[in-house]
């Protein structure tokens, strides 16, 4: 997944080389790759094709388009084996069959899952952006949390405490979702990153013995940065009928923000967590102005957003997800739920699908009337 490196590059923009522009393309929607290519100089472009198997349809389609663009503009034959291309994969054989020179293939182990891959060579784009020294510092921040998780007693263990709180909210208090609200614009992609980490890891209904579960597992993870979220959905959090626990995340200081703005930002966060907790009674006959309170939230504060603290933050949530998966008795490291959609997509693309349902058949007919589908 590109979510890890993309999120981290956005978060650590302050540490990025000013000489480099990093772009990510993952969507098979052609506008994604076309928009990026339209802003690039082919002579100074390096394409990193990251794919665990080097068989992912979306990745290879975008790679073909990018390479055709390079070949056309540079008039270089065998562009795939040129120094404009690097492959990152757990299947070097397929990368070489794709045409990438074996000296330009960077491998990682095949047991590394996409949502946990930022620490591996999948993080190459991030390492290029912020420098390998800073990448190592990010790893060290994660390693400190690994050691904390391994060695700390449960009542002082941050990932364990977060995990059992989540279990309590989900399985005993009926929470169907969990909001992630970073009060830091650099962490704008962090809710999406945690959405994949949590929901793809623990969005399961069968345990490790193949038995159907009789209890809830992963909640819906969603969120947005504050203060923008306050003007979008905090109305529901304060006065709605849904029970939604919240994680607030904030750096205490930010080098790219002035003191006044940072003070107002943090006070907004404190005001939200306080009002969610204590609420406010309204005057008689003005129930619409009542804040019930008693709505749970956790606040994670970091000194500043840096490679080390970002690494620690990611690791905290990884271990939280692992603990919850262990308690629920599920395998947090597979994702069979996405396979059927892939199979049907391939079959539809080949026109090789039988027993198509009436609804899908009608949708295909409608699409074909307006396109060359």
Q: Which residues are catalytic?
A: 200, 231, 342
Residue 250 and residue 213 in contact, taking contact as beta carbons nearer than 8 Å = no
How many Cβ atoms from other residues are within 10 Å of residue 283's Cβ? 8
Angle 294-297-303 from CA coordinates, rounded to 5°:
145
Largest CA distance in the chain: 79
> Whole-angstrom Cα distance, residue 247 to residue 273?
10
* Helix 158-167 and helix 307-328, axial crossing angle in degrees, nearest 10: 50
Helix (H) or strand (E) holding 50: strand 47-50
Sheet strands side by side (includes 297-304): 220-223, 177-182, 246-253, 297-304
Instruction: Decide if 308 contacts 138 (C-beta within 8 A).
Output: yes
Report whether 314 contacts 304 (CB < 8 A): no
Per DSSP, the three-state class of 59 is helix
Phi, psi of 299 (to 5 degrees): -120, 120
Residue 193 DSSP code: H
Q: How many CA atoms lie within 13 A of 351 on its CB side?
A: 2
Assess contact for 304 and 255: CB atoms under 8 A.
yes
Which residues make Cβ contacts (< 8 Å) with residue 92, sequence separation at least 6? Answer: 102, 105, 107
Would the CA dihedral through 242, 245, 251, 252 be positive or negative? positive
Cα atoms in the Cβ-side hemisphere of radius 13 Å centred on 162? 24
């Amino acid at each position: 997944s590109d979510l890890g490196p993309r999120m981290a590059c956005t978060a650590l923009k302050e540490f990025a080389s000013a000489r480099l522009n990093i772009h990510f393309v993952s969507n098979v929607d052609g506008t994604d790759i076309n928009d990026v290519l339209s802003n690039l100089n082919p002579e100074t472009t390096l394409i990193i094709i990251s794919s665990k198997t080097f068989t992912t349809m979306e990745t290879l389609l975008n790679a073909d388009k990018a390479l055709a663009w390079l070949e056309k503009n540079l008039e270089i034959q065998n562009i795939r084996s040129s120094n404009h291309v690097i492959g990152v994969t757990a299947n070097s054989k397929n990368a070489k069959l794709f045409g990438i020179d074996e000296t330009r293939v960077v491998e990682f182990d095949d047991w590394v899952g996409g949502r946990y891959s930022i620490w591996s060579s999948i993080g190459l784009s991030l390492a290029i952006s912020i420098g390998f020294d800073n990448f190592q510092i990010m790893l060290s921040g994660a390693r400190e949390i690994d050691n904390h998780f391994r060695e700390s007693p449960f009542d002082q263990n941050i990932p364990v405490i977060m995990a059992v709180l989540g279990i309590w909210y989900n399985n005993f208090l009926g929470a169907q979702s969990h909001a992630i609200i970073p009060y830091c614009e650099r962490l704008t992609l962090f809710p999406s990153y945690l959405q994949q980490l949590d929901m793809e890891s623990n969005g399961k209904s069968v345990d490790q013995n193949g038995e159907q579960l009789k209890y809830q597992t992963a909640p819906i993870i969603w969120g947005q940065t504050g203060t923008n979220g306050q003007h979008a959905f905090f109305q529901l959090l304060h006065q709605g009928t849904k029970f939604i626990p919240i994680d607030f995340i904030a750096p205490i200081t930010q080098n790219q923000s002035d003191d006044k703005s940072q003070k107002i930002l943090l006070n907004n966060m404190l005001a939200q967590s306080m009002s969610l907790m204590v609420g406010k009674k309204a005057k008689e006959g003005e129930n619409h102005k009542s804040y019930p309170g008693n709505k749970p939230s956790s606040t994670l504060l970091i000194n500043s957003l840096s490679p080390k603290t970002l690494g620690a933050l990611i690791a905290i949530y990884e271990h939280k997800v692992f603990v919850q998966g262990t308690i629920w008795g599920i395998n947090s490291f597979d994702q069979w739920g996405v396979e059927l959609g892939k199979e049907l997509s391939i079959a539809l693309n080949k026109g090789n699908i039988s027993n198509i349902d009436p609804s899908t058949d009608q949708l295909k007919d409608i699409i074909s009337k307006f396109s060359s589908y």
